[in-house]
Chains A and B, each alone.
Chain A
Amino acid sequence: MKYNRANQPVSPNDFTHAAIANNPAWAQLLGLCPLLAVSNTVANATGLALASAFVVIGSNTSISLLRRIIPDIARLPCFVLIIATFTTLTVMLLEAYAFDLYSRIALFVQIIVTNCMILGRAEVFASRQPVGRALMDALGTAVGFALALLLLGAVREVLGQGTLMADMDLLFGPAAAALQLQVFAVPPLALALLPPGAFIIAGLAFALAQSLGSTAKATTPHAEAQKHP
């Protein structure tokens, strides 16, 4: 089982498979908590997407590099410690460079460590593959998760707040304030920003994904193996 495809070269397929076909959010239902909690605006969603990307890329690469050293019997605690280290680094970086945005999404940055999506990639992919492929897979996972976060974030921000990409200056400096678009003068559905709106809009989005065919049920056996442990 181990190193089953280890000698395959790095290919863009790893990226697209992780980002689209095996998308962490809509194909595997992983990382639901941050997906619903932080998708109220595009700015918050971008912040968490970048933070999660940093953690999944860092931990996947390190775990792949260390895969021959980590003893098989203690691999899960090792993975969790590596992920927790990268999460702590992310918290420190955000505290230093984007404090205002961080203080809005602080709790969900701190609990990236319990995001099953990241542990899943470590266990199923990074611990068995060379570093190039693990990096491709991490990039794909990060982009896939960001896609889901940003799509949901955009819909909820437009409906609930009437704007698109407000407050981007909190993340990318004062120049980014110009990115803000005013779509509606009066927000058409204020509920979208509130918790019930998150559940309902995500439910409708999943229904759309399901009717388009990329459903959680139609995943490959490969994806089945990395559902919640």
Chain B
Amino acid sequence: MAVKKLGAQTVKFQNPPSIIATATVVGPVEGKGPLRNYFDLILGDFKFQEKSWEKAEKKMLKEAVEMAVKKSGVPSDKIEYFIAGDLLNQIISASFAARELGYPFLGIYGACSTVAEGLGIGAMLVDGGYADNIVVGTSSHFCSAERQYRFPLELGNQRPPTAQRTVTGAGAAVISTKNQNPRITYVTTGKVIDMGAVDPNDMGSAMAPAAVDTIVMHLEDSKRTPEDYDLIVTGDLASVGKDIAQKLMLQKGIDVSNKYTDCGLLIYSPEQDVHAGGSGCACAAVVTFGYIFNEMQKGRYNKILIVATGALMNSTIVQQGETIPCIAHAVALENL
């Protein structure tokens, strides 16, 4: 019998695994944003001494993982799994980083929700008794994402106000059985929700229903209310998606207005000309592992629900006229 399962989609950990260390690397634009003091390494340019943006992205992820492992104090040979994913075709940033890191590797894909998927799987492995130390990571890069999903960088086109900027960065965290705060207490795995969005320049409103569905399921399964959390943070809905998510939640009688924010809004300031806000795997990852992890360690926040969101599509299937399926996974982080 699944003793740790609650309701339809949620897991409650018996011995909540700890996040014992995190590390973040960000690009130059994020390094000028309001959270700049929370990041471990800020790059001066987009190439990170590499020949291509893809190689730079892989290097950022590798760097973040190495830093997190080093900070954790866990010897490298005691890392039992490396769980990672990214946006590039065949998750090459993750697997090429794994090639160099040499840890047993589980590649995952959840688009921009990857960080929550990784934390969820990692925590389940740790609380399940399958490992004592796991490292979870993800990355994205503005330039490599633009060329894969949209247009060449130097093309002189105009973007609509709903467009978002892919965060350049990588984040990694070490999950462990060690007795330390913050901990992962609950994980709610999301369903794929498709509300008929077709505009690849408006991911926020495409993903908002998935975020709302997962939040509603989490509260229902765990018998919690928004009052139980200091903060509910979605991944990368940005300004357009966040407003819609709030509206949808109000329709369901859930009022989160005073404690709800979004990583896509936190990472940039409005003057940074990023349209609706940030997106990409690194968006939720660097905000969670940089800002939120640090503030939880300081005790400013004690209970946070991270709801990372992802749009599960590529440009081929959108050109074939398909609507955009989306997903969101929720992870509850708590100081116990």
Chains A and B come from one and the same complex: no
Write the residues of chain B forming the contact surface with A, with a CB cutoff of 8 angstroms: none
Write the residues of chain A forming the contact surface with B, with a CB cutoff of 8 angstroms: none
